[in-house]
């Protein structure tokens, strides 16, 4: 049986996404060019497309509370984008914790929200689990980038470097 809070949040899904996607994009200048288009077009705005699809997948996973669903694929798509940017892991993955705040802001509009305390804790717990997975995915992507850079340096300057 689905909890009422999940029904409320599903009804507010577009509002949540419209607030969350800018948080995922961040406020740094390197992403400003990608915030201009609102279309989900894989070819004219590939970064925006991947973030839109990824955030929708993550939110779908969170709001459906189905243990058989896997959040790895949409989360990894965003982590790959974040890993190539020159920022600290805490800055790159902060968007996941922003989701907690955005959900609470959307729930402020509801009456009797205090009756959903346990469900909100469960949502927070799932976001925390997802953040731990994201950290692992982000680090794996960064490790792959560093490995490729090292291999390229070795290829360019010879094998005698290490």
DSSP string, 86-153: SS-HHHHTHHHHHHHHHHHHHHTTSTTGGGGHHHHHHHHHHHHHHHHHHHHHHHHHHHHHHHHHHHHH
pLDDT at 112: 78
Any idea what the Cα angle at residue 70 is, between residues 67 and 76, rounded to 5°?
150
User: What average pLDDT does the segment 78-103 reach?
Assistant: 95
The helix/strand/coil state of 3 is coil
User: What average pLDDT does the segment 139-143 reach?
Assistant: 97
- Distance between terminal CA atoms of the chain? 58
- The residue among 99, 63, 57 whose CA lies nearest residue 78 is 57
Residues 62, 96 contacting (CB under 8 angstroms): no
- Is the pLDDT confidence value at 156 over 80? yes
Q: Mean pLDDT check: name the lowest of 38-52, 73-87, 97-111.
A: 38-52
* Rama region for 13: left / alpha / beta (φ>0; ψ in -120 to 50; rest): alpha
Domains of the chain, residue spans: 4-161
**Average pLDDT in the chain:** 87
The pTM of the full predicted model, rounded to 2 decimals, is: 0.84
């Amino acid at each position: 049986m689905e909890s009422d809070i999940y029904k409320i949040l599903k009804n507010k899904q577009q509002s949540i996404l419209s607030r969350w996607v800018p948080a995922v994009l961040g406020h740094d200048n390197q992403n400003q060019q990608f915030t201009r288009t609102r279309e989900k077009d894989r070819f004219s705005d590939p970064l925006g497309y991947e973030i839109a699809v990824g955030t929708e997948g993550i939110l779908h996973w969170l709001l459906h509370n189905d243990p058989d669903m896997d959040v790895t694929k949409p989360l990894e798509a965003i982590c790959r984008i974040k890993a190539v940017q020159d920022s600290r892991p805490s800055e790159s993955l902060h968007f996941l914790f922003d989701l907690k705040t955005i959900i609470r802001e959307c729930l402020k509009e509801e009456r009797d929200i205090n009756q959903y305390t346990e469900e909100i804790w469960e949502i927070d717990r799932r976001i925390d689990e997802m953040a731990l997975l994201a950290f692992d995915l982000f680090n794996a992507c960064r490790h792959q980038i560093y490995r490729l850079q090292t291999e390229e340096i070795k290829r360019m300057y010879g094998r005698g470097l290490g």
